[in-house]
Amino acid sequence: MLLSKDDFFVLLISIRKEDRMSYNQHLIVLDLDGTLLKDDKTISDFTKQVLSKARQHGHLVMIATGRPYRASRAYYDELNLNTAIVNFNGAFVHHPKDKSFGLFHHPLDLETAKTIIKTCQAFNVSNIMVEVLDDFYLHSFDQVIVDEFLAGQNPIEHGNLLKQLQTDPTSILVHPEEHHVQELRHLLEDAHAEVIEQRMWGAPWNIIEIIRSGINKAIGIQKAAEYYNIPKERIIAFGDEDNDLEMIEYAGQGVAMSNAIEPLKSIANAVTSSNEEDGIGLYLEEALKL
């Protein structure tokens, strides 16, 4: 059937509008703790409204966190997201609602992991948690850790990690005594620099997270950007800690929170208000003219 002249122009205007939307579409990447989440681990109503408005304008919103999926899923659902998610600082990347995205898992070598566990045990650290995707094992059962880090779920096992661990782990979380943090980090760096990455997160807990070398949030974001066909210059990423360094450097607009560590602020394109002051919402409202 031939289109009338009026129908043709309506179709043309519609196509041009879609082209403009595609051209202006941004990928908004959110770290959780200390960034999207306030100190009480909630998302402010204002920032939630701005993120919803950004999605209504055609922009994509995704999460990139050091947390496992089980401990970030509630926020994914709260924001009603339909995008890929980066967990374990890039060691696990998948799309909860679209299997065609693929599943990317980059675990530590099992023998390397056991050597690291032995080193940490020799330091008499407060605790060690080993994660294999959404399964987790504790050296010593601790109800506070279960409540704060494991969303109230109990570990599969606790006790002798060297005996329990039978497969390559996604990450190792170490909770050292505060006066041992830097000494332990230096020791791990000297012994395993070529095969591991280690980051601090979970303040005020002083948790050292250990994952496979070469893995970071930027790796996961790049996979998502390629999948959604969004160039680097239209990626806006927000972070606050050292596990956000590569992500902030990679993004076209890398934004540090005002509560971020100084090394992150020094490489960021911009610094916004803190996680307690709607930093994400205020920045996006202005940058995307919402």
The catalytic residue among 6, 7, 19, 31 is 31
Residue with structure tokens 């940490």? 120
* Other beta carbons within 10 Å of 277: 17
* Contacts with 251 (C-beta within 8 Å, 6 or more apart), sequence order: 29, 221, 232, 235, 236, 237, 269
* Contacts with 274 (C-beta within 8 Å, 6 or more apart), sequence order: 257, 258, 259
Please name the amino acid found at residue 27: L
* Alpha-carbon span 239 to 258, nearest angstrom: 10
Q: Is 6 noted as a catalytic residue in this protein?
A: no
DSSP line for 155-172: PSEES-HHHH--S--SEE
Query: Which residues are marked as active site?
Result: 31
